[in-house]
Amino acid sequence: MDLDDLSQSGIRRIADYSPYLDQLAGLAQQMGLRQRSNLTHLETALRNHWSLGQNSILSWSQLDRSILILVVPHYAIAEYTASTSGELPPRVSPRFITELISGDRQLSISQMQKVARLLEIEPVNIPLREPLTGSAVETQIIEKMIRKYGINYVPSRAVTLFDIVGFSLLTPFEQMTQLNSLSYSLNSAHAKMLEQDVNIDFARSSSGDGFYIWNRDDGLEASVNLYHFMHIVLADNAIARSKTTTKAVPRLRACFHVGSCYEFHQAEGLNPTTHDFIVGDVTIELARMIDAALPGQILVGDFMTDIESHTDTGTLRVEPNIDAVTFLERAQGNLSQLSGMVLSGEKVTAIKCYLTGEHLGEGQFNIRRLTIKDKHGLSRVAFNAKVNIYRELAQPILLGIQDRKLPVPDPA
């Protein structure tokens, strides 16, 4: 097909092969049809090397009229860091592999050669129809393609877990209706935040009894937006519960945590899914926290994270080792942008989110650290969170459990 005669169906095929062109539609419009066709050709080649999930693509480098990629069997990543015997060290360190599958995946030619030598593999050359332009948009799309066909490590990801109380005791029909109701609350909350110009590129993965939700965007603002997203979901659910007398709307409990995870795409038919999955320390902690949560409770994990922000001059500033309490203080200061949101026909005038604790007198409260022990005998610390959403002409929506209603901890 001549590029000048590229039909609308051809453009649709580009979108089918490269869903990230749709996700970056505003940027991709800057590219001509030849450049888009070139990326379609690249995506097809990457998918072939991925081979239904048999292989994982680690990195890429740009040449004049081609790119180099590093392709390994999906099981090889674990084998690289395993000892070949009880005495010999692994071929490469776990830290090296972690760094390789974190962040940007583009390597210089010299870096590609060194990594290939360490892993004892030959880079694969993919000829292109025409040279890459090297533009930021093009590079960003290729990065997303490479990540889709590999495993990605994220050292700090904010994730929330919504869990339907008593899910296993419901009939299959009730389970279906409650999952559908929760799914609607997720979509409704997303739409309401977009109406307030609060961007959140959220992803979801089923936990069986609910959903893990995370923001694909990184940084403090993305994590804070996810925390407020959790509030709006719970508020939408609470309003729906108040209007029904059936079991169509679930009773929820929720947890929020920040930690490391691996992200990947499973095979769906002959292609990787367009949505991603996560597993790692953050999902493990959330699963163990939710088991201890009471109906209606909101728990926040005891995490440490780095906060990235930009100064007035545009310089990136990193605040290391910010704890959960400080994070929540930053989240409270970010709530003004949600004022004016309409919930159940009433405009929101204020939102207050806080961690609960004991009353110390004179209007002062501490923050109670809850110790949670799981079935494996492992302990972790969490905080009980409350959210009060005030509306103009309606009763406030009070989410979470008051501290005085929590079980008294056993004496040490």
Task: Report the C-alpha gap between 405 and 355 in whole angstroms.
Answer: 14
The helix/strand count (H/E) of the chain reads as 12, 20
Least confident of 8-22, 203-217, 281-295, 387-401: 8-22
pLDDT at 343: 82
Task: Name the pTM for this structure.
Answer: 0.83
> According to the per-residue pLDDT averaged within each range, which of 15-19, 224-228, 297-301, 318-322 is highest?
297-301
Per-residue model confidence (pLDDT) at position 110: 95
Contact call for residues 160 and 186 (beta carbons, < 8 A)? no
Residue with tokens 């008051």: 402
Q: How many CA atoms lie within 13 A of 365 on its CB side?
A: 12
Instruction: Please give the Cα distance from 6 to 8 (Å, whole number).
Output: 7
> What's the average model confidence in pLDDT over 292-302?
94
C-beta atoms surrounding 51 within 10 Å: 13
Q: What are the tens digits of pLDDT across the range 80-137?
A: 766 555 555 667 788 888 899 988 999 999 999 999 999 989 999 999 999 998 888 8
Contact 350, 390 (CB under 8 A): yes
* C-alpha distance from residue 202 to each of 14, 82, 222, 235 (Å): 24, 34, 10, 18
What CA–CA distance (Å, rounded) separates 339 from 349?
A: 5
Q: Say whether 384 sits in a helix, a strand or coil.
A: strand
pLDDT exceeds 50 at position 247: yes
Q: H helices within 123-262, ranges in order?
A: 136-148, 172-195, 220-242
Q: CA-CA distances (angstroms) from residue 114 to 117, 122, 207, 331, 339?
A: 5, 11, 40, 43, 53
pLDDT band at 253 (very low <50, low <70, confident <90, very high): very high
Q: What's the pLDDT at 121?
A: 92
Helix (H) or strand (E) holding 156: strand 152-164
**112 versus 32: which is more confidently predicted?**
112
Which domains does the chain show, CATH number per domain?
Answer: 7-150 (no CATH), 154-405 (3.30.70.1230)
Distance, in Å, from the CA atom of 223 to the CA atom of 159, rounded to the nearest integer, reads 8
- pLDDT tens digits, residue range 348-364? 888 888 899 887 777 77
pLDDT at 27 > cutoff 80: no
**By percentage, how much of the chain surpasses pLDDT 70?**
83
CB-count burial class (<10 Å; 0-12, 13-18, 19+) for 174: middle
Q: Taking Cα atoms as reference points, which of 226, 225, 234, 229 lies closest to residue 182?
A: 234
Q: Answer for the pair 383, 355: CB distance below 8 angstroms, yes or no.
A: yes
Q: How confident is the model at residue 307 (pLDDT cuts 50, 70, 90)?
A: low
d(CA 230, CA 162) in angstroms, rounded, equals 8
